[in-house]
Chains A and B, each alone.
Chain A
Amino acid sequence: MQNFKKSILYFFVLSLFFLLFYSLSFAEATEVAQQVNSSSSLPWWFWPLSLFIFTFILGILAVLAGVGGGVLYVPLVSSFFPFHIDFVRGAGLFVALTGALAAGPGLLRQGFADLRLTIPLALIASTCAIIGALVGLKLPSNIVQILLGATIIFIVIIMATAKRAEFPEVKKPDALSQALHISGIFYDPSIGKEVEWKIHRTPLGLGLFIFIGLIAGLFGLGAGWANVPVLNLVLGAPIKVAVATSKFLLSITDTSAAWVYLNSGAVIPMMVVPSVIGIMLGSIVGVKILAITKPRIVKWIVIIVLGFAGLRALLKGLGIWG
């Protein structure tokens, strides 16, 4: 069994390096395709098929690294595929949206995601995501690339350094959360007992969701990387409630921004469908692998790959690379 786990670990380290290599090869292929007129150099099906394989691997890695697929999708696909960033953001929103919609029912029924906690936060985030999407589609591509690169590097720093509190101490819930009756009880199988939770600092949390919504709409990113720390460390929700509510919240935040991209003509089915199917199948395989082993190294390699994609987006925007 030990050897089997080791083999799985080696397999994933290898596939991560494969992803990095694949990404670099794609960067070259993309540049060549752009220089020589892509329609004549490669058949039309090459890129959707590559996108499907790429997102399938992303889906596995996202689960193993404990990050959302959306945050990996936009920087990596916009860096290493020939698609314009407008369409990558449109597809990225549908990738994050469908992942969140699929996870929602289970998380809500088990009581890990909380509807009462979600509704006020979602109203702010989804409204601001519309503003972000409208601004994002108006900005020149190089400015979007620069901002995306800087944001991804910031996300990488958060991912590498953010702390998590399993059960944050909330001495006294604030007046707003009490008025809205935001609290709950869930059964935590890891400790074998029911956990009662409540939140504090609700006005501050609501304010931070303005920023989160803007970023989600602007870049077409799922915003789990920001939702979780705010829910857990600022509002004081237990980590399981924070992670689940964050995932569910994305289904609402990304819906509003996704409509702006769809209505503005920035959604191409040939990109969206292979990406959605690829990442969902990858996530299913990832969950099965996660049950066998949880290689911590995967998270760090994903952080490095994401940092590399962020740097490339930044340099691409500045006209230095690509």
Chain B
Amino acid sequence: MTENKYVKEEQIGYANLLDIGMKIGLAVLGITFIIYLLGFLPNQIPINELPNLWKLNVHDFLEKTGLPTGWGWFKNINKGDYLNYIPIAFLGGLTILCYIRVLPIFMKKKDTAYTILTLLEILILVLAAGGIFKVGH
């Protein structure tokens, strides 16, 4: 792959972290899914019950299964199905890590506009990840 000599420092920093994070995320996704499929850990929802549940809307699904919303899954990562949320959440959070990576570069360059824009994006994504924005059931 040819690297563009005009590409700025922050862009390379973002790309490098994204590259490593993506590879780790996908590898862990594969591993946790194999653990789930092979039944190495007990599941919160019996696997053969899924066809009766995924046809329901999310409100009825949660009501019937009693599953938690937000980060509630984290308390049950000893369950095979919940374990998969670790790489899913990691992939969801990777962009936040990449933004945090480039923030000091913009600050060092005294690039006020991009420092503010980056901070705002981190704030929005952290609020979204933190579960501030979710639909109550």
Residues of A at under 8 Å CB distance from B? 33-34, 37-39, 42-44, 47, 82-84, 86-87, 94, 97-98, 101-102, 104-106, 108-111, 114-116, 119-120, 122-123, 126-127, 130, 133-134, 137-138, 141, 179-180, 184-187, 251-252, 255-256, 258-260, 262-273, 276-277, 280
Q: Check if B8 is an interface residue, CB within 8 A of chain A.
A: yes
CB-based contact A42/B57 at 8 Å: no
Q: Which of B4, B15, B33, B52 contacts A273 (CB 8 A)?
A: B33
Given contact pairs A84-B58, A134-B133, A260 touches B128 in the complex (Cβ within 8 A): yes
Q: Which residue of A lies closest to B33 (CB)?
A: A273
Known contacts A111-B6, A116-B8, A265-B58, then 20 further A-B pairs from the complex at CB < 8 Å, ordered by chain A residue: A37-B52, A38-B52, A44-B48, A82-B54, A82-B55, A83-B55, A84-B54, A84-B58, A84-B61, A104-B22, A110-B2, A119-B121, A123-B124, A134-B134, A134-B135, A137-B58, A251-B18, A252-B121, A263-B133, A269-B36
Give the contacting residue for B54; candidates A87, A186, A276; CB below 8 A. Answer: A87
Residue contact A276 to B15, C-beta cutoff 8 Å: no
CA distance A258 to B92 in the complex (A): 7
Closest CB in chain A relative to B112 CB, distance in Å: 11
Can you sample 9 A-B contacts with CB below 8 Å?
A39-B48, A84-B61, A86-B58, A97-B91, A119-B121, A123-B117, A134-B135, A262-B88, A267-B88
- Describe B's contact surface by its main secondary structure: helix
A159 and B41 CA atoms in complex are apart in Å by: 46
The secondary-structure label for the interface of chain A is: helix
Which residues of B are found within 8 Å of A87, using beta-carbon distances?
54, 58, 61
Beta-carbon contacts of B55-93 to A below 8 Å, as 1s and 0s? 111100110000111110000000001001100110110
B residues near A (Cβ < 8 Å) are 1-4, 6-8, 10-12, 14-16, 18-19, 21-22, 25-26, 29-30, 33, 36, 47-52, 54-58, 61-62, 67-71, 81, 84-85, 88-89, 91-92, 94-96, 102, 113-114, 117-118, 120-121, 124-125, 128-129, 131, 133-135, 137
When A119-B121, A130-B124, A265-B61 are in contact, do A104 and B15 touch as well, CB less than 8 Å?
A: yes
Contacts of B12 in A (CB 8 A): 108-109
Task: Flag if B58 contacts A264 (CB, 8 Å).
Answer: yes
- Given A42-B51, A109-B1, A262-B92, A273:B29 Cβ within 8 A: yes
Q: Which residues of A contact B48 (CB under 8 A)?
A: 39, 43-44
Q: Which 7 residue pairs spanning A and B have beta carbons closest together?
A: A111-B4, A269-B84, A105-B19, A108-B15, A259-B128, A263-B134, A137-B135
**Set of chain A residues within 8 Å of B114, measured between Cβ atoms:** 116, 119, 180
Residues from chain A with a CB closer than 8 A to the CB of B52 are: 37-39
Supposing A109-B12, A115-B10 touch, asked if A269 and B4 sit within 8 A by C-beta, the answer is: no
Contact status of A276 and B29, CB under 8 A, knowing A104-B18, A134-B135, A137-B58: yes
